[in-house]
Amino acid sequence: MLTFLIAAALGLTPFNHEAPESERLAFALDRANPVDERFYAVQSFIRITEEIDHSVMPALWELVRSGEVELHYPALLALTVRGDAGALPELVTLCTAPVTHTLARHRGSRFCSEQLVQWRYLGERSQELGYDIVPALIESYDRADIIGRQLILQIALETPDTRLVPLLTDALSPEYWHQNWLLGYYATQAIAGDVSLVSDDIAAALDAIETSHWLPLMRWRARLLRHFHREGSLERSADPEISSIAANLLATRPHLDAPLDPPVALQIMAGWPPFSVPAERIFGENTLCTDWRWLTGDDSEYLEFEYTGQNWQHGLVHNWVHVHGTNFGEWGGSLSVGSHRLTNRMHVADIFLDHADNIMVASGYDGLFMLGDGTIDRIVAGGEPYDHHLYRLERWITFPSMPMGTVLRDDNQLVVIGRSWALSVRNGEIEGYLPCAVSSAPMDEAD
């Protein structure tokens, strides 16, 4: 009721979500209406509850070409959902392009990555529509944009193609292990969809991951892929560890008669429900603890961190810039600078200053283990200082799960602490897990 009263006072027509498509479309096209309301009007065309009306397609393209960047994304996605394959490459280009100030004012950080959670949908949709999306992925793959590459690799999960081999090889490079491990994770999943994509360069990259990657989950994934590529099966192996893994994986899916192929094996290894996987294969045997030793070799010095429950509110004031974050679990979370909300899709775990006095935000989803849902972002200004509308987020590092807190030490070391792990980060790169301070002996003997 309040919305209708305010709209009436301003001489505006509030958007009616229940209106017929023709009325919602007219509302979206009318520039006299607030852009936020028009955004929701366009977004309503993504949800199809009746037979598709193709007569709305020209109007949606009109909104794409209108110059109003806030409406480009929902209009292109609506066109894609309604079967217009021509919207696919434009959607990839838009969502991997740098965030403009206009778009930053409207939504905050990486707009498309916040809105389209399952990017692999674009790969699935391109297959359904018979559209070759690979050239658009190759053209939009920018090595200077770590988030854009992550989105492109998610699309590639459903479109394995030999033309993508250079992108997959690049994503497996050690250059990205310590900043965004998800690049390699999605690359291995795409390769699992078609093991014939394993070139000599990819084989060498998988070998390097198996022996040297800091994350045990990635080492196991590389090991399974290399074994399957060499032997053609996961179920017959002279390697007792591979045989043990295959037996355990088969035991989790007795109702399926199909061979244990790499996509299924890697999916189970990821721990997605309804499958389970030992935590040590994700985090490592020495990470499941609450007390850790520093990476100094000094056994007498260790870090103790006790998780005391969820902190719903986080705040920091620096150089007159006030940053506020929330985490209400299943009810959402947000991040604001001053009175401007950067994003309403972030569960904030901590806000702190790094060694260079940058404002950093640790975030994720506080719940069951979810891959890639732990991050640290840097708040950067895109315009005049203290203009809150021009602040945005820049991805710094990605973690396997949500951090619970951070400890800033001297010599440029940052310790990021999860529920049962602690990672050392130095100069913007993950060094590795801190070793447990507790003895590996049984607890009664250790005491």
Residue ranges per domain, the chain?
Answer: 170-277, 291-433
b/e code 76-99 from CB counts within 10 Å (16+ = b): bbbbbbbebbebbbbbbebbbeeb
Predicted local confidence at residue 250, as pLDDT: 66
Q: List pLDDT tens digits, range 99-140.
A: 554 444 434 344 455 554 467 788 889 999 999 999 999 998
> What Rg do the C-alpha atoms of the chain give, in angstroms?
24
Q: What average pLDDT does this structure show over 258-285?
A: 62
Which residues touch 305 (CB under 8 Å, ≥6 apart)?
A: 290, 291, 292, 404, 405, 407, 417, 422
The most confident of the ranges 5-14, 128-137, 220-229, 280-289 is 128-137
Q: Is the pTM of this model over 0.75?
A: yes
Q: What average pLDDT does this structure show over 337-347?
A: 81
Residue 445 has pLDDT above 70, yes or no: no
Exposed/middle/buried for 188, CB within 10 Å: 0-12, 13-18, 19+? Answer: buried
Are the beta carbons of 158 and 129 closer than 8 angstroms? no
pLDDT > 70: percent of the chain? 74
Q: What average pLDDT does this structure show over 188-205?
A: 91
Q: What average pLDDT does this structure show over 422-431?
A: 90
- Show the tokens assigned to 198: 């394993």
Alpha-carbon distance values, 420 to 189, 261, 268, 433 (Å) = 26, 31, 21, 11
Kindly report which listed range (42-51, 158-167, 346-355, 356-365) carries the lowest average pLDDT score: 42-51
Q: What average pLDDT does this structure show over 408-430?
A: 88
In terms of Cα–Cα distance, which of 30, 93, 32 is closest to 62? 30
The most confident of the ranges 51-60, 252-261, 424-433 is 424-433
Q: What average pLDDT does this structure show over 171-184?
A: 91
Q: What average pLDDT does this structure show over 185-203?
A: 90
